Amino acid sequence: MSEIAPGGLDDPQVVLLSPGIYNSAYFEHVFLAREMGVPLVVGADLVVEDDRVYMRTISGLKPVHTIYRRLNDDFLDPKVFRPDSMLGVPGLIGAWKAGNVAIANAVGTGVADDKAVYAYMPRIIKYYLSEEPLIHNVETHICREAEGLKYTLDNLDKLVTKPVGESGGYGITIGPRASKEELELARDSIRANPENWISQPMIGLSVAPTLAEEGIGPRHLDLRPFIVTGKESWVLPGGLTRVAMKRGSLIVNSSQGGGSKDTWVLADNCNNGSAA
Amino acid sequence: MSMMRFDPGLLARDAEGLFWMARYLERVENLARLIDVTQSFESPGFETDAWFGLIRINADEKNFAARGFSPDAAHVKRFYLLDRGNPTSIPSSLEDARTNARTLRPLMSTEMWRQINVFHRFAGRITPEDMEGDALSRLCTRLKEGVQAHTGITQGTLYRDQGWYFYELGRFIERADQTTRMLDIKYTALLPRDGEEKRVAELTQWNAVLRAAAGYHAFKRYARAAFSAEDVVHFLLRDPSSPRSALLCVRRIESHLDDLRRLYGLSAGEAIERAEILRALLLEKPLGHILATGLHDYLDIVQIHLQQLAAAIGRAFFRDWRPQADEPAQLQEQTQVTA
HEC sequence for B145-171: HHHHHHHHHHHHHCCCCHHHHHHHHHH
Pairwise CA distance, residues B112 & B101, whole Å: 9
Give me the average pLDDT of each 10-residue run along chain B (339 residues).
62 96 98 91 80 91 95 94 96 97 94 98 95 94 98 96 96 97 80 78 87 90 85 94 96 97 90 97 92 91 96 86 38 53
The count of C-alpha atoms lying within 13 angstroms of the C-alpha of B45, restricted to the half-sphere facing its C-beta, is 1
Spatial neighbors of B177 by CB under 8 A, at least 6 apart, are B303, B306, B307
**Interface contact flag, A59 B322, Cβ < 8 Å:** no
The answer to whether residue A238 scores a pLDDT higher than 90 is no
Taking residues A180-203, report their average pLDDT.
Answer: 92
Enumerate the CATH 3.40.50.11290 domain ranges in chain A, comma separated. 14-111
User: Are A118 and A140 spatial neighbours (Cβ–Cβ below 8 Å)?
Assistant: yes
What's the pLDDT score for residue B267? 84
Q: Which amino acid, B132?
A: E
Query: Is the four-CA dihedral A266, A268, A269, A273 of positive or negative sign?
Result: negative
Q: Residue B317, by phi and psi: left (phi above 0), alpha (psi -120 to 50) or beta?
A: alpha
Q: A-chain residues within 8 Å CB-CB of B9?
A: 39, 55, 57-59, 62
User: Are A29 and A65 spatial neighbours (Cβ–Cβ below 8 Å)?
Assistant: no
Spatial neighbors of A106 by CB under 8 A, at least 6 apart, are none
Tell me what the pLDDT averaged over chain A comes to: 88
Pairwise CA distance, residues A32 & A23, whole Å: 15
According to CATH, the topology of domain A14-111 is: Rossmann fold (3.40.50)
Rounded to 5°, angle at Cα A7 from A6 and A8: 130
β-bridge pairing A60-63 and A52-57: antiparallel
Q: Is B126 helix (H, G, I), strand (E, B) or coil?
A: coil
User: Are A180 and A173 spatial neighbours (Cβ–Cβ below 8 Å)?
Assistant: no
What's the pLDDT score for residue A260? 86
Q: B-chain residues within 8 Å CB-CB of A70?
A: none
Question: Pick the residue with more confidence: B309 or A115?
Answer: B309
User: Are B177 and B29 spatial neighbours (Cβ–Cβ below 8 Å)?
Assistant: no
What's the pLDDT score for residue A270? 56
For domain A115-201, is the CATH number 3.30.1490.270?
Answer: yes
DSSP string of B36-52, one letter each residue: HHHHHH--TT-HHHHHH
B335 DSSP 8-state letter: S
Strand partners of residue A162: A198
Residue A55 forms contact with B (CB below 8 Å): yes
Enumerate the CATH 3.30.1490.270 domain ranges in chain A, comma separated. 115-201
User: Are A6 and A100 spatial neighbours (Cβ–Cβ below 8 Å)?
Assistant: yes
Q: A-chain residues within 8 Å CB-CB of B10?
A: 57-59
Least CB–CB distance from A57: residue in B11, B99, B105:
B11
Length of chain B: 339
Segment A133-147, tens digit of pLDDT:
988 888 999 999 999
What's the pLDDT score for residue B332? 38
User: Are B212 and B33 spatial neighbours (Cβ–Cβ below 8 Å)?
Assistant: yes
Pairwise CA distance, residues A41 & A67, whole Å: 10
What's the pLDDT score for residue A225? 86
Q: Residue B10, by phi and psi: left (phi above 0), alpha (psi -120 to 50) or beta?
A: beta
**Interface contact flag, B321 A58, Cβ < 8 Å:** yes
Q: How far lies B237's CA from each of A93, B184, B209, in Å? A: 55, 12, 13
Interface test with B, best of A59, A62, A68 (most B CBs within 10 A): A59
The answer to whether residue A100 scores a pLDDT higher than 60 is yes
Spatial neighbors of B137 by CB under 8 A, at least 6 apart, are B36, B39
Residue B105 forms contact with A (CB below 8 Å): yes
Pairwise CA distance, residues B103 & A70, whole Å: 16
Does ipTM exceed 0.95? Answer: no
